[in-house]
Chains A and B, each alone.
Chain A
């Protein structure tokens, strides 16, 4: 094979892998919230449970996002 040698440095590759994993985890957790949320809201009955699930999900993302920012600030 006569392709060029990859130019990315190892640390850049590791950074990219971390970023990929982070993006995937966020997307996966969104789908998990939708899956569990729809069942929980119907199981517990009414709209309150649904709003609670979505609200908790949003709060969790906010906490994670703020936490990440604070950590990277240090």
Chain B
């Protein structure tokens, strides 16, 4: 892709900040996509640390058999809040942060389509996160039924559950507003000449993700609304005592929950699709097939939800349908992995930190995908359901998949965001520590699951002790490694070698045509893409 030169190449002293409120008011009132992207990313990292503390509590309790640190009820609250905070507070806002920063820059738009709504979308999140944490301190404690919020436990739980439902409503509203903004921006504000099939893959990934969010977030909101009316207004949607059906909630939840997995992973696919061509110094292999694969994954994600419910007593025809439909997702996913590898094939590869994280992603996400395929086989899933094998599987997808892509994306675009090059050596050390400790944490969980250790238990049989201790040691190491990431980011913000407009030789998208750091206002005159 090439664009005609425009005047962003002229350096500006003030970067346009002089005309805007400063200090706290700048961040509260900002309608600038870069500021809001920064807010999302910091919020995401903060919630990641909060959720990570909960994970550390879980792993400390599981360090050895027996109950030693927390009460079982609190342990259940920790697993529940860890899941909710990581999914809704860390991973999703993180992806939206990348979208806010990069989509307007990559499509040549001056800002998001609805700048004020963008501000509102973000500022709904901190109160929602606060409510989730606050639920720990109300009578009855926080929700403790797992992040899936299955009734009947959630119908019977205390006030913490109401706060959780309210938080989910708020975060859902924020996600829907964000999605509307992203779709409208991509469809209506692309630079002249930037056809849909010329868009960077990151924008494509987000366009499809936003459509998924529009379709499934209201379903989750509907489900928790029904849960709320069951709890307080005498309805019996899911309350068996009144003639309701708890399994119905599982259907509705997973109609949201499975696409949600792709909502989290598709933006990561987009980031990886930007990094690999840049550091391979080759165009992305099979661009069109990548777009079609993304679409196929999104469509298939709507028809596989009941594979999460193989043990609830589905009819045989249903089991077969959901099993084969789930296996089918491996085809477009395989296309993507093949294309990433083909992009690297015979490329002039250099292994800077973003590329290391991308290769780490490829290796570990593929492993997570394979274990997902194992779980899709119903006779095997009956054995593995609710075991640590499933915990290992989804952490390989969510952490080594999405989080590694986020780390890679952060290092990739930090020079554009801050105007400084990050400390490459420390970033590479961060990668290797993360890679090693991640595997020490989660690989043994496959063994634990296969040996029959159930998930969401604060105590376990002696036979599981060794691998649990290994996993806990790995978790502490992985947790600490994130402070190294924080240090590298802060060091980069505060100074370092000045970043040129295009710090990566292989960068070919529009964001590399503007100076580093990106001026406060960009593309007020749209570039023409040839």
Contacts and interface: CB of A to CB of B under 8 A. Distances in A.
A20 B188 CA distance: 7
A27 B221 contact: no
A56 B293 CA distance: 31
B519 interface: yes
A38 B226 CA distance: 10
A6 B519 CA distance: 15
A24 B184 contact: yes
Interface in B293-348: none
A20 B184 contact: yes
Contacts of B222: 34-39
Contacts of A3: 7, 12, 16, 519, 521, 524
B525 A31 contact: no
Contacts of B225: 35, 39
Interface in A19-48: 19-20, 23-24, 27-28, 30-32, 34-39, 42-43
A6 B524 contact: yes
Nearest to A1: B16
A31 B179 CA distance: 11
A23 B188 contact: yes
Interface stretch (B50-58, B212-220, B386-394, B444-452): B212-220
A38 B223 contact: yes
A2 B521 CA distance: 10
Contact of A4 (B16, B183, B218, B524): B524
A24 B177 CA distance: 9
Interface residues of A, number: 25
Nearest to B248: A42
Contact of B18 (A1, A7, A30, A34): A1
A38 B252 CA distance: 8
A58 interface: no
A27 B524 contact: no
B138 interface: no
Contacts of A30: 214-215
Nearest to B176: A31
A39 B226 contact: yes
B7 to A, nearest CB: 5
B214 A1 contact: no
B524 A35 contact: no
Contacts of A36: 222
A5 to B, nearest CB: 8
B180 A6 contact: no
Given A23-B180, A24-B113, A34-B214, 17 more contacts: A1-B19, A3-B519, A4-B524, A4-B525, A6-B525, A7-B525, A19-B188, A20-B114, A24-B114, A27-B179, A27-B180, A28-B176, A34-B215, A34-B219, A35-B218, A37-B222, A38-B252
Interface of B: 6-7, 10, 12, 14, 16, 18-19, 110, 113-114, 176, 179-181, 183-184, 187-189, 214-219, 221-223, 225-226, 235, 237, 248, 252, 519-521, 524-526
26 contacts: A1-B14, A3-B519, A3-B521, A3-B524, A4-B7, A6-B110, A6-B525, A7-B525, A20-B114, A23-B183, A23-B184, A23-B187, A24-B114, A24-B181, A24-B184, A27-B214, A30-B215, A31-B218, A34-B219, A35-B218, A38-B219, A38-B222, A39-B226, A42-B252, A43-B235, A43-B237
